[in-house]
Structure 1
């Protein structure tokens, strides 16, 4: 079911909800995508799933500002967690890992049952180890941020089709469409940040699972290793020969791993 909510600051966010009983799981997508990427996890999930569209993405409001502000991202995610109404497992994919870290920076872990970082960054800025990118991300920029469709469309197409080997053509085209729905200036704003998160990661006191594909060329696996090393007790798991989107490339395995973790932290 797709619905929407208003944050305390009056920002309208769209979100997808699925499932009934079971642990609550909030799925946070990455840069220039939407909650639709979690289609496999939203289809009859073994948990109660909520997948918001971040501000400026999907069907959510394109706000005039807030994209460089950790407090704005934190407020948006707080509104989603308030709607869920129970401690949830927070899952952050790619840039979604930074949004999750923004939330923790401002609000801590009281509403969090556990964390799952999936091919995720937790920092951003030059020489930030938690934001280490791979060659595919570096090749996509700056063309993927261009106002000129003749420049941006090919760059975004290559970026999406190459990030997850074997991705079905129909799925890739939906992801390309989602990227093109994000205004170019919003795509640019998300990169105009310089945020370190070492202290935030060290303060995490909830069970954490760090998942990364060994063939990820968007976010370097070193970014995941950095987070796993700083978060007390974090467990790290690699998906061999998987790229940037294990939930799309190995949906059954990923969903089973996520469900097992959610059940474990719920107990």
Structure 2
């Protein structure tokens, strides 16, 4: 089932719903140039669907969500990201667990910087960045992302396409079905190049935000992540008081696809304890 919520500046955001409507919510926030479809394995997970309400948002300018008017579109404003996510959390209700993958981790820190943890039961950072900008340890990228930039931001297809293919190929360390790999590439191509570029025009330090967290937090990161370096996950885990860290050997940037069963079990156990 799909619905829409209204985010900052009236931008309509597409939201996918699954699981039990009367259960605590898991709110999934996808990564750069992706979409809510990335979480398909979790929406297909019988245990997660039995115990939780699943909510996955398409970030502004991604998937089914609208592209904001104006040159900047709010992509460089933490308050805009915070308002967008607040609209989704209004739908989820109190006691939700926020799950952020890749750039989604940064969106979550934007929300926390503005609203704190009030009403949240827990947080999960999955192959995530929590900072962005030159020299920021919480945003350190891996070799696949480094090779893809700046070409992946270009509006010239001859430049962007090989860069995005390189990135898609580097997302996984384990074999995944061809349809899944092509879906990741297709999601990136569906995001306008102006949006892909705008998300990088930021400089964010989240050390104080992470250190102030007071809800249960899970950090999951594949040791072979070539998009977001594992040290970014280590940085977050080291800053967050009492963080639970789960390092997945031989897994790349999409642990919820490459090791879907293990990921689902870990997330379900963590969220069950956080919301119980």
TM bucket normalised to smaller: over 0.9
SS at match of 2:9: coil
Aligned to 2:114: 106
1:34 aligns with 2:21: no
Whole-angstrom distance in 1 between the partners of 2:261 and 2:236: 25
Q: How far 1:162 moved relative to its partner?
A: 2.0
Aligned pairs, number: 267
C-alpha deviations, 1:74-109, integer Å up to 9, x for none? 000000000111221100100000000000000000
For the pair 1:137 / 2:137, whether they are aligned, the reply is no
| In 2, Cα distance between equivalents of 1:104 and 1:251 | 27
Q: Does 1:12 align with 2:17?
A: no
Q: Greater shift after overlay, 16-25 or 203-212?
A: 16-25
1:147 maps to which of 145, 148, 155: 155
Aligned to 2:251: 242
Aligned to 1:61: 66
SS of corresponding position for 1:105: helix
User: What SS does the corresponding residue of 1:9 show, helix, strand or coil?
Assistant: helix
Which of 249, 255, 275 is matched with 1:266 structurally? 275
Tell me, what secondary structure is at the counterpart of 2:55? strand
How do 1:62-211 and structure 2 match up within 5 A?
62-63=67-68, 64=70, 65-165=73-173, 166-211=175-220
SS at 2:10 equivalent = coil
- Residues 218 and 244, structure 1, Cα contact 8 Å, conserved in 2: yes
Deviations 1:205-250 (A, max 9, x none): 0000100000001111111111111111001110110000000101
Match of 2:235 among 226, 231, 234: 226
Structure 2: segments with no counterpart, 5+ residues = none
Residue 161 of structure 1: how far off its partner (Å): 2.1
TM-score (norm 2): 0.94
- Once the 2 structures are TM-superposed, how far is the Cα of residue 8 of structure 1 from its aligned partner? 5.6
Q: TM-score, normalised by structure 1?
A: 0.98
Contact 1:213 1:239 in 2 (8 A): yes
CA contact (8 A) 1:205 1:232 kept: yes
Alpha carbons of structure 1 residues 56 and 8: separation in structure 2 relative to 1, 3 Å: closer
CA deviation after TM superposition for structure 1 residue 158, in Å = 1.7
Alpha-carbon distance in structure 2 between the residues aligned to 1:172 and 1:265: 32
Tell me, what secondary structure is at the counterpart of 2:100?
A: strand
**Aligned counterparts of 2:88 and 2:230: Cα–Cα separation in 1:** 28
